[in-house]
Amino acid sequence: DIMMTQSPLSLPVTPGEPASISCRSSQSLLHSDGNNYLAWYLQKPGKSPQFLIHLGSNRASGVPDRFSGGGSGTEFTLKISRVEAEDVGVYYCMQALQAPFTFGPGTKVDIK
Amino acid sequence: QVQLQQSGPGLVKPSQTLSLTCAISGDSVSTNSATFDWVRQSPSRGLEWLGRTYYRSQWYNDYAESVKTRITINPDTSKNQFSLQLNSVTPEDTAVYYCTRSYRWAYDVWGQGTMVTVSS
């Protein structure tokens, strides 16, 4: 199985400031079709994970444009341009290159 | 708008069978363009994929190695839903269980989650 790691595991943020989360995979997620099979999720307290980004950088419908995904191969980044209070929760990356899809351990984002 | 609605008991005795159902609205369990999966979440294991069912001219199932001797996922086309059965449960199976749809290389829709506790 492909192993996923994230850093940091905890990220205190200030509203209005940017934030960045890193994700690494144990093998390249870049497919021969040119896509990186990497997705991002946000799990708000007490809720199910919600879909943010797939194929490395494509935002899901309704996701604010302050969220952006980047990177390629084995290193990826989720950036929030200006954090809002509603962005708190745990962020997960997930590889979708090969079954079973596997998740990172999560990065907990909270307000300073 | 696709929605998944989970149902099933929140308490199961050790050695018995955990059974959950996921009702689908806004899509069909028989679609050729998605899979329907079960994922669980616990503090010790994080988010863990358990298995999936999908239709591609015939029905297929895939299961995680960690549970493959104990798990069954079945589609029910008459009710447009799918189910999870996990046999011989132990306290290590205590977790929040989610049903989810995999579409275009992501889990884009999730059920509300069911906290299942294995305890006598």
pLDDT tens digits, one per residue of A92-110: 999 999 989 999 999 999 9
**What's the confidence (pLDDT) of residue B97?**
98
The answer to whether the CB atoms of B46 and A105 lie below 8 A apart is yes
Is the preceding peptide bond at B75 cis, omega within 30 degrees of 0?
Answer: no
Nearest-neighbour CA in chain A from B61: distance (Å): 12
Q: How do strand B81-86 and strand A67-72 relate by DSSP bridges?
A: unpaired
Identify all chain A residues contacting B49, using CB atoms and an 8 Å cutoff: 100-102
Burial class, B92, CB count within 10 angstroms (exposed 0-12 / middle 13-18 / buried 19+): exposed
pLDDT tens digits, one per residue of B39-83: 999 999 999 999 999 999 999 999 999 999 999 999 999 999 999
Region A11-30: mean pLDDT is 97
Least Cα distance to A68 among A106, A102, A21 occurs for A21
**What's the confidence (pLDDT) of residue B95?**
98
Give contacts of B 70-99 with A, CB under 8 A.
Answer: 98
Beta bridge partners of B72: B85
Region A55-72: mean pLDDT is 97
Ramachandran class of A83: left when φ > 0, alpha when ψ lies in -120 to 50, beta otherwise: beta
d(CA B100, CA B112): 10
Q: How confident is the prediction for chain A on average, in pLDDT?
A: 97
Contact B18, B73 (CB under 8 A): no
Amino acid letter, residue A39: A
pLDDT tens digits, one per residue of B14-31: 999 999 999 999 999 999
**What's the confidence (pLDDT) of residue A101?**
93
Identify all chain B residues contacting A48, using CB atoms and an 8 Å cutoff: 98, 110-113
Q: For residue B67, what are its two tokens?
A: 């549970």
Phi, psi of B91 (to 5 degrees): -55, -25
**What's the confidence (pLDDT) of residue B4?**
98
**What's the confidence (pLDDT) of residue A99?**
87
Across the interface, of A48, A99, A102, the residue whose CB is closest to B113 is A48
